[in-house]
Amino acid sequence: MKKLIVTLFFVGIGLIGFAQEKDNKGDIETLFGGQRLKVTGGFGGVDWKATRLNGRTTWMVGGKAALTFNEKVNIGLAGYGLNKKSPFQGTDPAQELWMSFNYAGLYAEYIMNPNKLFHISFPLIIGSSHVNVRDQLENYPPNHPDNDFDPHVIEDSNGFVIEPGVNVELNVLKFMKVGASGGYRFVGNHDLKNVSNGDLNNWSFSVGVKFGWF
């Protein structure tokens, strides 16, 4: 919780610093510089994310789609999931378990100097997360009579996720951007015996590509 408070504090200070400056007349400039709010672009993108879950380094794959407002702010949706189920030991060290983890939600991003070749942005994801724990890796085949009730699922829980980050981006083409980012994932409200919320909290590092109208 302390990490969450400190991180959100510094992210908030950074956004305030970028969004509000006083001009010579003493008026305060807003995030959109007094302009009318308008859509100036939109995009879809794919990300590959390295992170740690339950003490293991693993990969997540996901993407995002958003509209761009006044060239400075992206607002849309994003979601990520493990590219494969991750093995781990739960409360019983002799038993191997398998975990799937995914999350999705609102995606917002403030962009500094978006028309520069290299630029920095500050993404934020706020949404829901889902954890599924199994005692076997295999699923039932699609036409199995017991497919609606899988006895190998021993725990299943929904919670929330907050993931602020910093992104460095390169304008490759007028319709294409590539970027690399780092962030910290805060997960909470999961009630599981074999996985704690702390097992799901960790740093993440990702690379991604965006295609759209910029």
Read off the pLDDT of each residue in 166-170 and give the average, rounded to a whole number: 98
Q: Which pLDDT band holds residue 114 (cuts at 50, 70, 90)?
A: very high
Summary mean pLDDT of the chain: 84
Q: Using CA atoms, how far apart are residues 47 and 81, in angstroms rounded to an integer?
A: 11
CA distance 213 to 174: 8
- Per the model's pLDDT, the better-predicted residue between 5 and 64 turns out to be 64
Most confident listed range (14-23, 83-92, 204-213) = 204-213
Tell me the pTM.
0.80
* Percent of the chain that is helix, strand, coil (3-state, to 5): 10, 60, 30
Which whole number is the average pLDDT over 78-97? 85
The pLDDT confidence band at residue 96, using thresholds 50, 70 and 90, is confident
The domain spans of the chain are 50-213
Q: Above 70 in pLDDT, residue 145? A: no
Task: Determine the CATH number of domain 50-213.
Answer: 2.40.160
Confidence grade of residue 110 (pLDDT, cut at 50, 70, 90): very high
Is 144's pLDDT higher than 70?
A: no
Backbone angles phi, psi at 7, to 5 degrees: -65, -45
Decide: helix, strand or coil at residue 27: coil
Residue 110 near residue 18 (C-beta atoms within 8 A): yes
What pLDDT score was predicted for residue 147? 46
Cα–Cα distance, 34 to 41 (Å, whole number)? 19
Mark 79-110 as b/e (b = at least 16 C-beta within 10 Å): bbebeebbebebeeeeeebbbbbbbbbebebb
Pairing of strands 86-89, 39-53: unpaired
